[in-house]
Amino acid sequence: MSVDDVVAQQVVEWDPAFRRRNRKLEVSGEKNLTAHVTPGTLSQLIATLLDNALVHGAGTVGIRTSLTPKSVVIEVRDSGRGVRADLVPRIFERNVSGKPGGTGLGLALARSIAAAEGGQVVLVRPRPAVFAIFLPRTLPVSGEETPVVSGPA
């Protein structure tokens, strides 16, 4: 699945909300990345991090894509004050929110959804906040028939 397409679609959806608050979205990083994930799942993960940056962050929000040997990485960063030190170890727990009246469900659900797809959502840096989605790279297509399942059933 094309990461570029989903990132572009999320920017189109979220840009008006950021502009209303005099903030910008910027996309950078590697292009033409593909990940082993459904488009709906990736959209939901990016949307959760963008909403989090809009509500809790400040300044320009950057979406940066990159590649590791095993993963496609999508980082979402902003220029705000970041995650309070007392919340860092619990930020992905249900009912933990950095804002009064927050539900504390978004990041917990994002982490569960990513895990169901074989990925992860992590807090890379608390101040200013950088969250990253790690997704399995698309498996290479070969001309040979290879078994899908290996090991005992």
Q: Report how far residue 131's alpha carbon sits from residue 98's, in angstroms, rounded to the nearest whole number.
A: 15
User: Domain map of the chain by residue range?
Assistant: 3-136
Find out whether 105 and 55 touch, Cβ atoms under 8 Å.
Answer: no
Q: Report how far residue 125's alpha carbon sits from residue 113's, in angstroms, rounded to the nearest whole number.
A: 21
Find out whether 123 and 91 touch, Cβ atoms under 8 Å.
Answer: yes
Any alpha helices (H) in 57-144, and if so which ranges?
A: 106-116
pLDDT of residue 96: 75
Backbone phi, then psi, for 74, in 5-degree steps? Answer: -120, 115
pLDDT of residue 106: 87
Q: pLDDT 10s digit of each residue in the chain, 153 long? A: 899 999 999 999 999 999 999 999 999 999 999 999 999 999 999 999 999 999 999 999 999 999 999 999 999 999 999 998 998 999 998 877 766 666 678 899 999 999 999 999 999 999 999 999 999 986 655 555 555 555 555
Any alpha helices (H) in the chain, and if so which ranges?
A: 3-20, 39-56, 106-116
Q: Report how far residue 91's alpha carbon sits from residue 123's, in angstroms, rounded to the nearest whole number.
A: 8
Q: Report how far residue 120's alpha carbon sits from residue 135's, in angstroms, rounded to the nearest whole number.
A: 7
Number of neighbouring beta carbons within 10 Å of residue 94? 13
Topology (CATH) of 3-136:
Heat Shock Protein 90 (3.30.565)
pLDDT of residue 101: 60
The residue type found at 17 is A
